[in-house]
């Protein structure tokens, strides 16, 4: 490599490190950057000027004793770029917009019954356009749209190869792209939701994420990365046999986890209402159904723990409501565990709102960050 190439790579490395530092530290001084990243002040100054010129950082204030010379502080321009996310389910479409920190700026859930028709994909685009308009988003700031779907998708984030739930076809990407004029990527819903969880908890090394939504999915984090498997179908916990010869699953088998732990077992359309009722009800049918649901959940969690020996994160639509019941879930899982003396390995999701749509959008934020 010639020296010009070396200098370019070094500058890019320094710029990337400085920008990454801003992602996790608000109100940073030049001195903070120099001492933490082991850089000279002239190098820091040049990079501050460069990032400011791109509109990615801004002066946020100052720090120091009153009366003395105060150090200027800088912070990320969090909405200099944004990404959009969609969560596509049988009866709804959720839209989210996230900033460069990965924070949800706004979200909206719409009722729209899925059908694989040109009309449906056009209506999704119209919902997204209204969402953009109502949020006052400058279209020039949009770096892409991530779409979470209940289907398995190849590593190209375009090709659907299994979709028994809703019937997405191989040209699904083309159908979306026909009406959505942005860079589009598609993800399995559980993988997208897991990506959002990893974004919030960057120190996760190994964990198994169970998506308890209208269908049950899963994702594995191994060595800090979401693991897809040899055939991009890893962690499909929804299709582990839970009850031999049990309830029929949409996949054609019987007794899978999915027909026992899908959110639709609790409510078809108002999960918040179900959990609000659960806190006060004396209805034995509701209480019995919940008791049985907890047993099935404990069994599924125990199976994952026995195989993977890592933390198990409960997420998805149901996961957002489980905090009052975590102690009981741990108790039941521990009762049937062979090896564990406590159940602290069972965690609840940190990303509780629209994790599928947000996780799909966060892919674009992650890729954008790599370009700095």
Per-residue pLDDT of the chain (372 residues; tens, 9 = 90+): 444 554 678 888 999 999 999 988 989 999 999 999 999 999 999 999 999 999 999 999 988 765 667 899 999 999 999 999 999 999 999 999 999 999 999 999 999 999 999 999 999 999 999 999 999 999 999 999 999 999 999 999 999 999 999 999 989 999 999 999 999 999 999 999 999 999 999 899 999 999 999 999 999 999 999 898 898 889 999 999 999 999 999 999 999 999 999 999 999 889 999 999 999 999 999 999 999 999 999 999 999 999 999 999 999 999 999 999 999 999 999 999 999 999 999 999 998 889 999 999 999 999 999 898
- Asked if 220 and 333 sit in the same domain, the reply is yes
Domain end residue (candidates: 76, 99, 124): 76
Q: Are residues 114 and 238 in the same domain?
A: no
Q: Are residues 337 and 241 in the same domain?
A: yes
CA dihedral sign of residues 17, 18, 24, 29 = positive
Q: Answer for the pair 95, 128: CB distance below 8 angstroms, yes or no.
A: yes
Q: Please give the model's pTM, rounded to 2 decimal places.
A: 0.90
Q: What is the pLDDT of residue 24?
A: 87
Contacts of 96 (CB under 8 A, 6+ apart): 84, 85, 86, 87, 104, 106, 107, 354, 357, 358, 361
Give the Cα separation of 239 and 346 in Å (integer). Answer: 20
Task: Tell me what pLDDT residue 2 has.
Answer: 47
97 shares its domain with 29: no
The last residue of a domain, from among 76, 95, 121 = 76
Domain that holds residue 32: 3-76
One domain, residues 61 and 179? no
Are 317 and 216 in contact by the 8 Å Cβ rule? The answer is: no
- Distance, in Å, from the CA atom of 170 to the CA atom of 175, rounded to the nearest integer, reads 10
Q: What's the CATH code of the domain at 182?
A: 3.30.420.40
Closest CA to 299 of 337, 252, 349: 337
**Where residue 58 sits, what CATH number does that domain have?**
1.10.10.10
Residue 333 and residue 367 in one domain? no
Same structural domain, 227 and 268 = yes
User: Do residues 212 and 186 both lie within one domain?
Assistant: no
Q: What is the 3-state secondary structure (H, E, C) of the chain?
A: CCHHHHHHHHHHHHHHHHHHHHHHCCCEEHHHHHHHHCCCHHHHHHHHHHHHHCCCEEEEEEECCCCCCCEEEEEECCCCCEEEEEEECCCEEEEEEECCCCCEEEEEEEECCCCCCHHHHHHHHHHHHHHHHHHCCCHHHEEEEEEEECCEECCCCCCEEECCCCCCCCCHHHHHHHHCCCCEEEEEHHHHHHHHHHHHCCCCCCEEEEEECCCEEEEEEECCEEECCCCCCCCCHHHCECCCCCCECCCCCECECHHHHCHHHCCCCCHHHHHHHHCCCCCHHHHHHHHHHHHHHHHHHHHHHHHHCCEEEEEHHHHCCCHHHHHHHHHHHHHCCCCCCCCCCEEECCCCCCHHHHHHHHHHHHHHHHHC
Bridge partners (DSSP) listed for residue 221: 207, 226
Q: Are residues 212 and 332 in the same domain?
A: yes
From 76, 94, 116, the end of a domain falls on 76
Rounded CA-CA distance 38/277 in Å is 56
Q: Check residue 268 and give its pLDDT.
A: 87
Q: Do 135 and 54 share a domain, yes or no?
A: no
| 210 shares its domain with 343 | yes
Q: What are phi and psi of 233, to 5 degrees?
A: -135, 25
Q: In whole angstroms, what is the distance from residue 224 CA to residue 220 CA?
A: 10
How far CA 36 is from CA of 25, 41, 64, 290, 354, in Å, comes to: 12, 12, 18, 51, 35
Residues 216 and 307 in one domain: yes
Per-residue model confidence (pLDDT) at position 156 = 94
Q: Rounded distance, CA 193 to CA 352, Å?
A: 10
- Cβ within 8 Å of residue 115, ≥6 positions away: none
Q: Which of 105, 110, 93, 102 is nearest to 135 (CA)?
A: 105
The total number of structural domains that make up the chain? 3
Give me 215's structure tokens.
Answer: 């269908």
């Amino acid at each position: 490599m010639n020296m010009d190439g070396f200098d370019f790579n070094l500058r890019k490395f320094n710029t990337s490190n400085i920008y990454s530092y801003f992602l996790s530290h608000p109100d940073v001084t030049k001195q903070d950057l120099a001492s933490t990243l082991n850089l000279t002040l002239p190098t820091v100054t040049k990079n501050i000027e460069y990032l400011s010129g791109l509109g990615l950082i801004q002066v946020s204030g100052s720090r120091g004793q009153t009366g003395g010379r105060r150090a200027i502080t800088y912070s990320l321009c969090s909405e200099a770029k944004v990404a959009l996310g969609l969560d596509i389910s049988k009866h709804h479409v959720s839209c989210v917009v996230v900033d460069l920190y990965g924070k949800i700026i706004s979200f909206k859930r719409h009722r729209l019954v899925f059908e694989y028709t040109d009309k449906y994909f056009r209506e999704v685009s119209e919902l997204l356009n209204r969402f953009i308009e109502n949020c006052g988003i400058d279209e020039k700031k949009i770096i892409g749209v991530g779409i979470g779907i209940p289907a398995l998708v190849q590593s190209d984030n375009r090709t659907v190869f299994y979709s028994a739930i809703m019937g997405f076809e191989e040209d699904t990407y083309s159908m979306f792209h026909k009406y959505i004029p942005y860079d589009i990527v598609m993800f399995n819903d559980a993988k997208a939701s897991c990506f959002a969880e990893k974004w919030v908890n960057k120190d996760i090394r190994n964990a198994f994420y169970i998506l308890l939504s209208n269908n049950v999915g899963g994702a594995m984090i191994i060595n800090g990365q979401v693991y897809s498997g040899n055939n991009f179908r890893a962690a499909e916990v929804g299709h582990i046999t839970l009850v031999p010869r049990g309830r029929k699953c949409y996949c054609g088998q019987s007794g899978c986890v999915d027909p026992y732990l899908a959110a639709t077992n609790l409510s078809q359309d108002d999960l918040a209402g179900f959990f609000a009722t659960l806190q006060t009800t004396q209805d034995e049918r509701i209480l019995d159904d919940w008791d049985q649901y907890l047993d099935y959940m404990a069994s599924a969690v125990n199976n994952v723990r026995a195989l993977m020996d890592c933390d198990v994160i409960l997420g998805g639509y149901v996961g957002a409501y489980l905090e009052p019941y975590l102690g009981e879930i741990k108790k039941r899982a521990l009762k049937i565990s062979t090896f564990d003396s406590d159940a602290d390995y069972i965690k609840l999701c940190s990303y509780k709102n629209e994790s599928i749509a947000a996780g799909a959008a966060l892919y674009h934020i992650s890729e954008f960050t790599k370009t700095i």
